[in-house]
Amino acid sequence: MKLTLADVKRATLGIIQGTETVSVTGVSFDSRKVQPGDLFVALVGENDGHDYIQMAMDKGASAVLAAEGHVLAGDVPAVVVPDTLRGLQQLSQFYLKQVQPKVVAITGSNGKTTTKDMTAAILAKKYQTFKTPANFNNEIGLPVTILSMPENTEVLVLEMGMDRPGQLTELSNLAQPDIAVITMIGEAHLEFFKTRANIAKAKLEITQGLKKGGLFLIPADEPLLTEAPGLPENTEMFGPVPNDVSESLTQTVWTENGERFAIPMLGRYNVKNAEAAIMVGRTLGLDMNTMASALAHFDLTKNRTELLTGKNGERIISDVYNANPTATKEVLATLANDGAENLVLVLGDMLELGEKGPSLHAGLAAAVIAAKPKQVNLVGPLMVDYLAPALKKIDQNLLIKTYQQDELPQLAADLKEKLTGNDLIFLKASHGIHLEEVVTALSGK
């Protein structure tokens, strides 16, 4: 990105303090992460970004996007706007129009990050491609992602998150995608949306900003989407998963249109994510052989079924960024089908399930038993109060250990004492449980 303060003024209709020719080459809303040349965006939330302007300037910020009503030092180059979040979004739309990449927008209750990574890997074989870093997928992260893309970007792959009605409408209208994808409808956010049907309705908001004639991709096995009224004219379906899938801890293999595909991760459920990525690639002119090559070596965002080695030599599958019942059952089924021996499970609470939380946690029992673990470690009140007794009801001899969230150091210590090079440990929970702390303690990563 290379803009001037005059560009920022034009994009936001703000008022300039300082010289119009001041250059900005990046954007940051966290004063601790400011790089020289950045435009520091003083967002107002739990903390007021205006309190950190001097820190940002000391770290090399070249200018500030500030809100009306705040006193600025006279020597700070700035553009002043009514609302800095809205100003950030307006600036991202301005830059998006300058670069004019094809935009692929991806959402879903589960799998959106993996699908984003797969899609970007495929498209990078032919185009200058930029993707959402980490989980920068909300009303702040999305415009920051747009403003972070290089000026030569040809395809921009955006992940879009959602935790309330209307949010995807805002994000879709901001990004104006050429292609929009919904990976799946799960139980995430039942606390707020009450039913899967409501979740589907909110996910469908991703079509609100879809360009005229743009492609909309949905899973063929989800009637809440395939039977939804008013779908875009150019709607296509991906899946179902082929019958010839073979899977192991390190890769999943299948054949499509005569081409062998292998992805470096476990789980037939990830084949559906790959199917969506492949359809995006085909739409943008990639051939099957090239896409197979891309998927064989794609980079997976950290803590999404990431395979690591622990300090005691144990194999670790870290899937601790997010969790919902459907996704948890799917990966447990994969472990069961793989016949994983010496399996140790660490399962933390699945959050935002509302009044259905107790029954959905207890409902994991059959999938846990089918995986034949030698030990189950449960973290959080929902796992401890509902899954633990459900497991005991099925198998009184199963070794179960329970922990509350503030006992993660003890959990890590207990695991390190017992784990050996013969063990496979699988960890999954909602991000709010912070099982990544246990993963780091075991692996050093």
Determine if residue 31 is labeled as part of a ligand binding site.
Answer: no
Number of Cβ within a 10 Å radius of residue 436: 18
Task: Identify the bridge partners of residue 111 per DSSP, sorted by sequence position.
Answer: none
Determine if residue 302 is labeled as part of a ligand binding site.
Answer: no
Closest by CA to 54, choosing from 46, 64, 68, is: 64
- Helix 84-99 to helix 5-12 angle (10° resolution) is 110
Cα(305)–Cα(71) distance, integer angstroms = 47
What is each CA distance from 114 to 153, 199, 267, 380, 398, in whole angstroms?
21, 20, 12, 26, 33
| Beta-strand pair 78-81/102-107 | unpaired
| Beta-strand pair 102-107/179-182 | parallel
Q: What are phi and psi of 277, to 5 degrees?
A: -60, -40
Cα(10)–Cα(4) distance, integer angstroms = 10
* Token pair recorded at residue 182: 């919904």
Determine if residue 285 is labeled as part of a ligand binding site.
Answer: no
| Beta-strand pair 78-81/63-67 | parallel
Determine if residue 87 is labeled as part of a ligand binding site.
Answer: no
For residues 427 and 320, the answer to whether their CB atoms sit within 8 Å is: yes
SS3 409: helix
Task: Identify the bridge partners of residue 345 per DSSP, sorted by sequence position.
Answer: 376, 426
Determine if residue 108 is labeled as part of a ligand binding site.
Answer: yes
Q: Does the bond joining 240 to the residue before it have cis omega, within 30 degrees of 0?
A: yes
Q: What residues are designated binding site?
A: 108-114
From the annotation, which residues make up the binding site for ATP?
108-114
